[in-house]
Amino acid sequence: MIFLKIFLIIVLTIAFILFSFSSKMKIFQKLTVIAGYMTLFLFIMFPDYSDKIAHFFGIGYGKDLIIYILVALTGLMNIVLYVGVNKNHAAITKIIRDSTKKNAKKCR
């Protein structure tokens, strides 16, 4: 069990370092990554706390709470990615349309 905790903390710390030094991240995103890191760190080091928090919210076990949170975050990430892809699609369409209009004027 100790080996697994150490391994998870190392992986989590490496992921945290990689994400926190990304220059494209805004301050809110960095704070979110820090909060997520601290939460996961506490749940790994002290798994009984996740049970206490889950009982506070009326959920049976801490594992269930973590799964519910991950399902919600996955749905949120899907929505964010979908909106981002649509924005990129619209921008590419506009660029191609403008380029086509300029090339059409040159051909006349």
Task: Tell me the C-alpha distance between 19 and 79, whole Å.
Answer: 21
Do 24 and 55 lie in one domain? The reply is: no
Do 25 and 58 lie in one domain? The reply is: no
Q: How far is CA 43 from its chain centroid? A: 18
Average confidence score pLDDT of the chain = 84
Residue with more model confidence, 64 or 18? 64
Q: What domain range is 77 assigned to?
A: 50-108
Position 33 scores a pLDDT of 76
Position 32 scores a pLDDT of 79
Evaluate whether 37 touches 16 at the Cβ level (below 8 Å).
Answer: yes
Do 108 and 58 lie in one domain? The reply is: yes
Evaluate whether 38 touches 30 at the Cβ level (below 8 Å).
Answer: no
CA distances (Å), 91 to each of 86, 87, 88, in order? Answer: 9, 6, 5
- 56-104: pLDDT as tens digits: 989 888 888 888 888 888 898 899 899 999 999 999 999 999 988 888 7
Do 39 and 55 lie in one domain? The reply is: no
- 32-47: pLDDT as tens digits: 778 888 888 888 888 8
Do 63 and 106 lie in one domain? The reply is: yes
Q: Is the pLDDT of residue 108 over 70?
A: no
